[in-house]
């Protein structure tokens, strides 16, 4: 999603008009969930996706009307059996998309989307608010606002005075809000920070896991006690920590939305990393290894007084059961499980 916001900023800086497509409602097997975004340029090139297939093709086609009118609109869609098959969906689906016109001269919008992109990059939460007409026929004016978790506002805040805090706190992911006498709807999107994966170990499986995790939009942190495996040349897009041992860890900001993947080079490193992470509120803790190794580590933890309910938090062997053997295949198994578990946080 961040690349869409950066592309909007870049287009405005180049004085190029664009159309932002957002799924605002979806039911059944629609290709993407509500909040999915795609930016359409006049030459029909796109950044992001709303799922491909007929829905995406129709959205790009409808963008032409937005460019001509210089105002956007909402469009309902129905995916019948044939459309579903073309989109490789199990069944049909229906919903609505919002198309908004972003003028190349709309510098206030650029500031809003810059605040959004910076917030995501800095792993902070916030809310993006888009104002559009209730009649759903057209938008007479495109207006965007971003409110940070700290309450800082970029753009004009369209929420009723005194009600902002209550309204925003009730938003789980995406919502449409309007006051009874207001001619406009507000699309309010809660922007979540990227989920962070703390990978203990920098070996072959860790390298492939780090790459795949970043590809599916996780923030990645590497921790190892070997400088030849934990360095910025090997992991140029991750935060890297070289530690004296896995019993001497830095103050890692592991919270209730963090993921921990333990892939050290041996039994002892896995044990030390696991014991340290069981003292955190990590949402997910997975450890590589055989059932035999896992049982040895679990028995040692129990002997040392670690409660069973803490040990039960650990997923080991790690990953979905795909019967993979190579580092690449094992990484696919691990990251597939991370994606599945991340979906439970939304």
Supply 302's token pair: 């129990």
Q: Are residues 47 and 168 in the same domain?
A: yes
Q: Are residues 313 and 183 in the same domain?
A: no
Supply 254's token pair: 């592991």
Which pLDDT score is estimated for 184? 78
CA torsion 230→231→232→236, rounded to 10°?
Answer: -30
Q: Are residues 203 and 185 in the same domain?
A: no
- Using left for φ > 0, alpha for ψ between -120 and 50, and beta otherwise, residue 323 falls in left
Which pLDDT score is estimated for 33? 67
Which pLDDT score is estimated for 89? 44
Q: Are residues 169 and 57 in the same domain?
A: yes
Q: Are residues 234 and 300 in the same domain?
A: yes
Q: Residue 91: pLDDT above 50?
A: no
- Across the beta sheet with 239-242, the strand order is 239-242, 219-224, 196-200, 259-262, 284-287, 314-315
> What percentage of the chain reaches a pLDDT higher than 70?
90
Last residue of a domain, one of 191, 212, 232: 191
Q: Are 189 and 167 in contact (CB under 8 A)?
A: no
Domain count, the chain: 2
* CB-based burial label for 293 (10 Å; 0-12, 13-18, 19+): middle
Q: Residue 25: pLDDT above 90?
A: no
Q: Are residues 126 and 29 in the same domain?
A: yes
Q: What are phi and psi of 131, to 5 degrees?
A: -95, 130
DSSP annotation string for 263-281: --SSHHHHHHHHHHHTTS-
DSSP character for 149?
T
Predicted TM-score (pTM) of the model is 0.69
- The model's pLDDT over 51-86, given as tens digits with 9 standing for 90+, comes to 777 888 999 999 999 999 888 888 887 765 444 444
Q: Are residues 164 and 223 in the same domain?
A: no
Per the structure, the complete domain to which residue 61 belongs is given by 2-191
Q: Are residues 202 and 176 in the same domain?
A: no
Q: Residue 212: pLDDT above 90?
A: yes
Last residue of a domain, one of 191, 218, 237: 191
Lowest mean pLDDT among 135-139, 263-267, 294-298, 334-338: 135-139
Q: Are residues 169 and 51 in the same domain?
A: yes
In angstroms, what is the C-alpha Rg of the chain?
23
Q: Are residues 181 and 322 in the same domain?
A: no
Last residue of a domain, one of 139, 159, 191: 191
- The model's pLDDT over 260-304, given as tens digits with 9 standing for 90+, comes to 999 999 999 999 999 999 999 999 999 999 999 999 999 999 999
CATH number, position 337: 3.40.50.720
Contacts of 346 (CB under 8 A, 6+ apart): 172, 173, 192
């Amino acid at each position: 999603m961040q690349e869409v916001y950066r592309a909007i900023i870049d287009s405005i800086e180049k004085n190029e008009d664009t159309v932002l497509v957002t799924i605002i409602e979806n039911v059944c097997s629609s290709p993407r969930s509500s909040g999915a975004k795609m930016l359409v340029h006049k030459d029909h090139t796109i950044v992001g996706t709303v799922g491909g297939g007929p829905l995406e093709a129709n959205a790009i086609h409808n963008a032409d009307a937005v460019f001509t009118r210089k105002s956007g609109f909402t469009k309902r869609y129905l995916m019948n059996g044939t459309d579903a098959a073309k989109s490789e969906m199990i069944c049909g689906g229906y919903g609505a998309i919002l198309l908004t016109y972003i003028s190349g001269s709309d510098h206030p919008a650029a500031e809003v989307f810059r605040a959004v992109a910076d917030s995501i990059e800095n792993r902070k939460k916030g809310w993006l608010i888009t104002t559009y007409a209730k009649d759903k026929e057209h938008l007479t004016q495109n207006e965007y606002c971003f409110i940070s978790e700290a309450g800082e506002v970029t753009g004009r805040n369209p929420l009723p005075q005194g009600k902002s805090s209550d309204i925003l706190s009730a938003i789980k992911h995406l919502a449409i809000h309007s006051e009874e006498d207001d001619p406009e709807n507000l699309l309010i999107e809660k922007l979540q920070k990227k989920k962070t994966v703390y990978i203990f170990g920098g070996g072959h499986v860790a390298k492939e896991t780090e790459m795949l995790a970043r590809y599916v939009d996780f923030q990645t942190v590497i921790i190892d006690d070997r400088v030849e495996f934990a360095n910025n040349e090997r992991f140029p897009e991750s935060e890297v920590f070289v530690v004296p041992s896995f019993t001497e860890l830095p103050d890692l900001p592991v919270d209730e939305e963090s993921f921990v993947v333990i892939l050290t080079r041996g039994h002892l490193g896995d044990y030390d990393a696991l014991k340290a992470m069981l003292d955190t509120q990590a949402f997910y803790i997975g450890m590589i290894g055989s059932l035999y190794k896992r049982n040895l580590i679990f028995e040692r933890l129990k002997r040392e007084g670690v409660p069973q309910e803490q040990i039960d938090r650990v997923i080991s062997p790690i990953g979905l059961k795909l019967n993979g053997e190579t580092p690449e295949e094992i990484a696919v198994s691990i990251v597939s499980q991370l994606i599945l578990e991340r979906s439970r946080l939304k």
